[in-house]
Amino acid sequence: MAEQIASKIHLNGKLKNFKKIWEMFIESSDRIKVSQKKVIAKWKLIPPEIIYALEAVPYDLLLHEGLTRNVERNRETHRYAIEAGLSADFCPWNLSVTNKILSEKKSTSVTSFLGASGVCDASLKSLEIMSEQTRKPLHAIEIPTYNIQSEKNAILFLEEELKHLFEVFSESKEYDYFEEYILFEVKIGNRIRKIIQEITHLLSHKHPPMSSLEYFIIHATMGDYLQNPNLLEKILIEIKEEAKERIKDKNIMNSNMNDASRIYYIGEPPQNLRFWNLIEECGGVLVGCDTYLPLFYETIPETNSILKDLAKWIWENPYHMPIPDRAESLSKHIKRQNPDCVMIGNSVGCRKLASSDKIIKEIIKEKLKIPVTSIEFSSSNDDISLLEPHIKAFIEISK
Ligand code: SF4
C-alpha cells in the first residue's frame, strides 16, 4: 500500500530512514482497525499523551483521514458530510474527514471523539456531527484564549477541564485516574518533542539535509505519534543521526539545491502532498513549518503537578494566542530557521486563517524583513499545479 501511494508523489529519497516513517504514517488508518484498545479520534493540536494516559490510542483525524487517506482516493464528492449537514463550502479538511468517517460509520474503529472548543469552530462542528451520526461520545476541552492578565484563572480552569476529562473516562470505563500515568506519557512525548526540535534545528543549516516533504511528514508525526511512540522515537533518532551525517558530508550536501530559496511555511497546508514536491520544483526548500509546531514548541515540564503544568503548556501554546501575540511568538521560531521568505497557507472555507492572515503577514514582515506571501488552496485536491506560477514568482523575488 505504502509503495503504491508513494508512486503518486515524489518521495525525493534524501533520507534512507524516511521510508520507515512513511510506512507508519500511511498505515495508521489500518492500524487502528486492529487495535485492542479504545481509539480516541482527536482534534490535531490536543497533546496525544492525554489519550495515551487514558490507556487508549490517539488518532489525529485531520492527519489520517484528511491527508493520508486523501492520497489514496480519487476525487470525492463529500456526499456523506453534506447530507449530514455540512455546507459544501465548509473547510475542505473537515469535509473530507467527516465524509470519510460517515461513509464507514457502521464499521468505524473510532470509539470516541476528543475536541477542543475555543480554537477551530469548524473542527468542533465536524466532531459534533461525526459523534451524533456514529453514536460515539464526544468530549470537548474548553481552552481559554491566552491573555497574561487572566493567567491564574485560565490555568485553573483548564486544569479542571483536564481533570473532568479523566473523570469522565474513569467513570465510563472503570479506569482509575492517576497523575503518574500522565507524567509517564509526558516523558515519552517530551523525548519525541526534543528529537523533532533537534531535527528542525538541522534545517537551519545552509543546506537542509532533508526534502520538504520529508520534513513536513516528520513534524506531523507529533499529531498522535503514529499510534506507537516508542517505535516512532527509535526511527526519529535514526533520522536525526542520518541528517547530521548528511550535513557533515560536504559531498552530499553541496550537490543538493544550493540555490534553493529557504521557505518557512505557516498555516494549514493543502491536502495534496504533491505541494511539497512542487515547492522544490519551483526552486524552494522547506526550512520550517508551524502546522504542528504548537505540539513541540517547547517540552512539557515534568513535575509532580503535571496537570497544572500541562494546562499551562496548552494555554501558552502559540495557537491559542490572540493573533498579534501568536505572530510575535511565531516570529522567534521562524527567525531561528533562517528563512529567505515566509509562505502563509489559507484553505477556502477557513475563517480562522483568513481573519489572521493580514495581521500575521504585517508583523512577520516588520520583524523579519523578508518577503511574505499568502497562498489560497481550493477544496479540489487535483489542481495543485495551478499554484505553480505564484510559487515560482514568489521564490524568484525571495532569492
Ligand atoms: S483549515 Fe481552518 S477551519 Fe479547517 S481545520 Fe484548519 S483552522 Fe480549522
- Ordered by where they begin, the domains of the chain are 2-175 (3.40.50.11890), 181-398 (3.40.50.11900)
Name the band, by pLDDT with cuts 50, 70 and 90, for residue 139.
Answer: very high
Which of 352, 356, 375, 379 should be mutated for ligand 1, with most atoms under 8 A from CB? 352
Instruction: Give the whole-angstrom CA distance, residue 379 versus residue 92.
Output: 5
Question: Minimum mean pLDDT among 22-26, 183-187, 230-234, 358-362: which range?
Answer: 358-362
CA of 87 to the centre of ligand 1 (A): 14
As a whole-number percent, the residues of the chain with pLDDT over 90 amount to 65
pLDDT at residue 204 tops 70: yes
CA of 350 to the centre of ligand 1 (A): 5
CA of 91 to the centre of ligand 1 (A): 6
Task: Supply the residue whose CA is at minimum distance from atom 6 of ligand 1.
Answer: 268
Q: What are phi and psi of 74, to 5 degrees?
A: -85, 180
pLDDT attached to residue 176: 55
Q: Which residues line ligand 1 (CB under 6 A)?
A: 91, 93-94, 120, 122-123, 268, 347, 350, 352-353
Name the band, by pLDDT with cuts 50, 70 and 90, for residue 179.
Answer: confident
Task: Supply the residue whose CA is at minimum distance from atom 2 of ligand 1.
Answer: 350
Residue 248 CA to chain centroid, in angstroms? 29
Measured from the Cα of 92, ligand 1's closest atom is: 4
Task: Supply the residue whose CA is at minimum distance from atom 8 of ligand 1.
Answer: 120
CA of 4 to the centre of ligand 1 (A): 29
pLDDT attached to residue 53: 93
CA of 273 to the centre of ligand 1 (A): 17
Predicted TM-score (pTM) of this structure: 0.93
Task: Supply the residue whose CA is at minimum distance from atom 3 of ligand 1.
Answer: 350
Measured from the Cα of 346, ligand 1's closest atom is: 1
Measured from the Cα of 353, ligand 1's closest atom is: 2
Cβ proximity of 334 and 342 under 8 Å: yes
